[in-house]
Structure 1
Amino acid sequence: MAKAIKLADQVIYSLQQDISLGKYKPGELIPPEPVLMEQFGVGRSTIREAIKTLSNAGILKVQQGAGTFVCEPRTSAEPLDQRLRRAAMQEVNHVRQLLEVEIVQLAVQHRRQEDLDTLQSLLEERWQAITADNYDACADADIRFHKAVATASHNSVLADLYQTFTSVIMDGFRQREKPHVSQFQQTHDLHVQLAAAIAQQQSDKAIQTVKAILENNF
């Protein structure tokens, strides 16, 4: 019995992830039971238990003879990353600034040596990507640098919240009209200054620097 519940939970989690990431959109049908059984390698009873749980949660709706549909998200239940993708980039950047200012203040207070080492390593990766003229590597190193700053805050809620923002930030990088590594190069010194301000526990300098970085959206 415990094994069946565990399998159902795995199916529930996977379906929730697919819905959150937009694989199955509101109003669309999810695959029928036989397809889900084959996809997850489980029996019919496990699939039905998972669908029943998601239906009770208002995520899915079963219509006899038609299939199982994804429900329109309720405001309170909509995943944050999905909500962020619906928002204007200007709104996202405004909230990101509020979040990052709080993060750097905490990072200045609570950073540890291993955090500083990670920031320096990521700065080197960022610069190597710039000199290699590799835009995707620049974007990846930039995101990981800011995530490392969030980790250095040693506030798990803030770090998790920032993690949700990173996928939207990466989307913003990809959607730029003329993406070029020079956009990252222009703010590299600011990133170096931010790491130094955190290391030296200079709160005002760190806040000023992160705001300057965000004005360029990098």
Structure 2
Amino acid sequence: MEKKERLSDLTTAHIQEDILKGKYPVGEKLPTEKELMEIYQVGRSTIREAVKQLSMSKILIVKQGSGTYVNKSQVLSPSDILKKAKFDEINDVRRLVEGELIQRACQTATKRQLEAIDKSLQEKKKAILAEDKDSCIQADIAFHLNVAKAANHQVLLLLYQGFTEMITDFFHEREPKGVSFFAMSYHLHEQLYIAIRDKKEKQAAKILDNILNNNFSL
């Protein structure tokens, strides 16, 4: 029973993720039960339980004789969530997720993964010197994403990858328009890379705190 419950929860999460990605557009009819079974490679009872959970959450609407539809009023896109999120809320989530990722990266990062982190750090330095804000944003996201990959934890990586879209949009909305924010925090990112490379978990955690606290300096 416990295994079945875990499978239905996982399927529920997969369907909800696909809805957020736009695979099943808001207001549109969901594929048939048989089609969903093939898409998610699970049995009929698992699909029914997943649809039931999403219906109870009002993410889906089951219309007798018609089918199951995505409920427009209940689905928030990442951009909608970003618009509702406060700056400190975004920082709090980053602190939780990245804190775990960095700890794991200190333990498991390979030579190739460390090289990828260092490469994105150098790209960020070039972008700062060129005063190219868009390239700074891309390099900053790449740096943190490469750290996430170095944690070698697929679930945490997927979670962080989804969150990077919000971080990117958030950076684009920030003031000032230049690169001073990225220039001020560059040395912290450099220190973080060194701490991960040298497997210093406690030091890396403190540096992450400094990076996130630096976000409030503007």
Report the TM-score when normalising by structure 2: 0.68
CA positional deviation for 1:83: 7.3
1:1-218 matches, cutoff 5 A = 20=20, 50=31, 57=51, 58=55, 70-72=70-72, 81=78, 84-85=81-82, 86-217=84-215
1:209 and 1:173 mapped to 2: Cα distance? 20
Preserved contact between residue 122 and residue 144 of structure 1 (Cα < 8 Å):
yes
Q: CA deviation at 1:92?
A: 1.9
Cα deviation, residue 69, structure 1: 6.8
Structure 1 gaps, min length 5: 1-12, 31-47
Measured in 2, the distance between the counterparts of 1:81 and 1:148 equals: 22
In terms of Rg, which structure is larger? 1
Residue by residue, what CA displacement relative to the aligned partner does 1:37-70 show, whole Å, maximum 9, x if unpaired?
xxxxxxxxxxx7737778x84556598xxxx974
Moved more, 177-186 or 107-116: 177-186
Distance in 2 between residues matched to 1:49 and 1:201, nearest whole Å: 47
| Sequence identity (%) | 36
| TM-score, with length taken from structure 1 | 0.68
Question: Which amino acid in 2 is paired with 1:124?
Answer: Q
User: In the TM superposition, what is the alpha-carbon distance from 1:103 to its structure 2 partner?
Assistant: 1.2
Tell me, yes or no, if the aligned pair for 2:24 and 2:30 is still in contact at 8 Å.
no
CA RMSD of aligned residues (A): 3.7
Q: How far does residue 177 in structure 1 lie from its aligned partner after superposition?
A: 3.1
Matched residues in 2 for 1:49 and 1:210: separation?
42
Counterpart residue type for residue 140 of structure 1: Q
1:60–1:134 distance in 2 versus 1, CA, 3 Å? same
1:164-205, CA deviations, whole angstroms, 9 ceiling, x for partnerless residues?
Answer: 110111111011132211110111111111000001111111
CA distance in 1, matches of 2:165, 2:141: 9
| Residue aligning to 1:44 | none
Structure with more helix by fraction: 2
The 3 A distance-change label for structure 1 pair 150 and 51 is: same
Tell me, in whole angstroms, the C-alpha distance in 2 between the residues paired with 1:81 and 1:170. Answer: 11
Shift of 1:97: 0.7
* Structure 2: gaps (5+ residues): 1-13, 37-47
Q: SS of the residue aligned with 1:186?
A: helix
Report if aligned partners of 2:79, 2:166 keep a CA contact under 8 Å in 1.
Answer: no
* Gap change, CA 1:215 and 1:49, over 3 Å in 2: closer
Contact map agreement 2:20 2:77 (CA 8 A) in 1: no
Distance between the aligned counterparts of 1:201 and 1:73, measured in 2? 47
